[in-house]
Structure 1
């Protein structure tokens, strides 16, 4: 353990997290490729459920947050957030329509180790403003990952995410109070990773630390509220939002993105950065 609360992983444990990460990557790809107008968000959950099971993994979203008697937990294996829903949308009977913006958050567990990632996409013919929102959100995610270095600080990630979004224009809001997190034997654990620059000291980045970085961006206000279902968080002004997330660790060579099929090689390479994934 690091600073008593931050969980450090051995190389063997990170290899298992990579396996969980690949399940998440393949599940998100399956959901995105099959999603279409006329389907329900519950249909997307079924696709994800079948994918996770087919890989011999279990879901870390299903029944998350349940009480001691097993009641009140999250009722899906993915979060499906549509249009003004930022995160934690509950899959169910909602019918997807042409032009909807959908964010899907997914997690998986293998041998007790977790993976977590999210992707946003549009249904049918996209609006140009939504395409740009997704691009801005994904760019912020990779800016944060790209800023991480062994010996650096979590604050470096947060500052890079905020700077990337601010550079995209004043019309974008960074969702208040929602952060990335450490991940390992549990899905959510310290350190917490704000999407805005942090004041004061933040956790040092060291080998064995695994983080889930996840900017959430809207075309409008940064303010949000939780719906009566107790889960779904929406923008306060009804503006559309996007969510992008990856789980990654750091090696001496650079970032290894555990939930990217290629380990992050293509995206980091396009930024002129090395990838810390093992040689294939």
Structure 2
């Protein structure tokens, strides 16, 4: 039994006539009569009573009629769902984001996504400097807002913005009295850093900056997230060089200052596996660019 047989059966049952059903289906009457007889043979019992006034369903036919209409409706819904997902109108998108970008970017990004992908289910997953590559590579998220971009052959990265560097320090620290801090003033200071387990971890940008200015800082702690670094800054353990977006939602008692004459920043990228085939990627990239503008 296939959907075509059920469609023919439902048409005859609704029209109560093979001739009228054939007209509705745009086919000749004899082939339709053959289809109905074949279906009755498959079921093993008559489905219609042939009367002078037309075709009337038997009890067995009535039972099949209800379920046949349900089956055709479900099949139609399935086709429409597949088309909607294939054209990017419906579906599910798992979005990973670095914690430091959360407060600053998500309040702008989420409304943009709701407008551009109104029927797409969105799931948001927090990632850290240690876990964000695994989230992308292992399919735990579809796309990720990553800082810095992932440098792996199986991952595609599209730069969507830049976050300037800022120096985080206790508000009571002497350097907090300055509007901007000369980088030379960091010589010999204690540094709270993010992990450098890989060449492209974001500490490499800070390390290169310090080397270029011939400044040496003592790394006293490595943490996975910016909010952990800010907590240790608040505790007086040292300074941290973090993205500007971390200033949104920072704890009271932590001051952010520009580094004088420093124009570098952390690149923010939309990262996803190269083998990901999703119509949601380009709308997401466009929304991320607007949110980070």
- What's the TM-score once normalised by structure 2's chain length? 0.22
Q: Which has the larger radius of gyration?
A: 2
- What's the TM-score once normalised by structure 1's chain length? 0.23
Q: Which has the higher helix share?
A: 2
